[in-house]
């Protein structure tokens, strides 16, 4: 399964339209989405632990009533259920919206696409720099790089993820550009709200 996950992940980067088409007819597509999200969430929980061990605190006030000093320690434990919940919720919203117009697909048909679309951009732009760069730049506050770079680091994967949502919906639900765009915006908005509440 892991080999298939990485194969599809690379294809989503190189040829996303073809990857979305082939994943639709993959027997274990929902499990590909699940394991993609589970592995990413587990690795990101390790990232949170590393940030806590190196003394980092959240960059801005958290919504959850958790002290800054222990925020990343707590995030270590709820990142996995948060990731799974985000995956399910985004897929539910996207599926229900498209089911109004197109009833030939099941909820499970979009799960693999949504999982990979979430994981790929954030693995590159969140997990890698926060795990392998931030701890070496100093724990005076997160992020340890300039604000303009942080804006780019968060904007690029959000747009990329939205583009992958667009492609996924186009392939799975045969959606025209307006419905696919609306789906991408809805999915991205749901993930943004979940991020805003739980992650820093």
Which one is predicted more confidently, 2 or 34? 34
For residue 109 the two structure tokens come to: 């048909």
Determine the average pLDDT of the residues in 127-137: 92
pLDDT at 60 over 90: no
Residue 45, H or E segment? helix 29-53
Q: What share of the chain is helix, strand, coil (3-state, %, to 5)?
A: 80, 0, 20
Residue 55 near residue 72 (C-beta atoms within 8 A): no
pLDDT at 171 over 70: yes
Q: Which residues of 48-87 are buried (b: 16+ CB within 10 A; e: fewer)?
A: bbbbbeeebbbeeebeeebeeeebbebbbebbbebbeebb
How confident is residue 72, by pLDDT bands cut at 50, 70 and 90?
very high
Residue 95 near residue 110 (C-beta atoms within 8 A): yes
- What are the domain boundaries of the chain? 2-6+15-198
pLDDT at residue 162, rounded to an integer: 98
pTM of the predicted structure, to 2 decimals: 0.94
The answer to whether the peptide bond before residue 27 is cis (omega within 30 degrees of 0) is: no
How confident is residue 140, by pLDDT bands cut at 50, 70 and 90?
low
For every residue of 89-105, DSSP letters joined together read HHHHHHHHHHHTT--SS
pLDDT at residue 19, rounded to an integer: 97
Distance linking the first and last C-alpha atoms of the chain: 31
pLDDT at residue 121, rounded to an integer: 98
Which one is predicted more confidently, 185 or 55? 185
């Amino acid at each position: 399964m892991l080999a298939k996950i990485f194969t599809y992940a690379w294809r989503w980067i190189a040829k996303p339209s073809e990857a979305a088409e082939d994943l639709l007819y993959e027997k274990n597509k929902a499990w590909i989405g699940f394991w993609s999200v589970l592995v990413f969430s587990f690795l990101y929980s390790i990232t949170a632990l590393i940030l806590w061990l190196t003394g980092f605190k959240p960059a801005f006030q958290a919504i959850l009533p958790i002290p800054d000093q222990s925020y990343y320690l707590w995030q270590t434990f709820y990142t996995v259920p948060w990731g799974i919940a985000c995956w399910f919720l985004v897929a539910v919203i996207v599926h229900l919206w498209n089911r109004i117009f197109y009833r030939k697909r099941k909820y499970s048909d979009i799960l693999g696409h949504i999982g990979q679309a979430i994981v790929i951009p954030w693995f590159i732009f969140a997990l890698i720099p926060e795990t392998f760069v931030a701890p070496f730049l100093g724990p005076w506050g997160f992020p340890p790089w300039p604000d303009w770079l942080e804006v780019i680091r968060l904007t690029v994967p959000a747009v990329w993820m939205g583009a992958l949502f667009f492609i996924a919906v186009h392939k799975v639900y045969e959606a025209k550009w307006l419905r696919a765009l609306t789906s991408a915006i809805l999915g991205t908005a749901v993930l943004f709200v979940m991020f805003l509440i739980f992650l820093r």
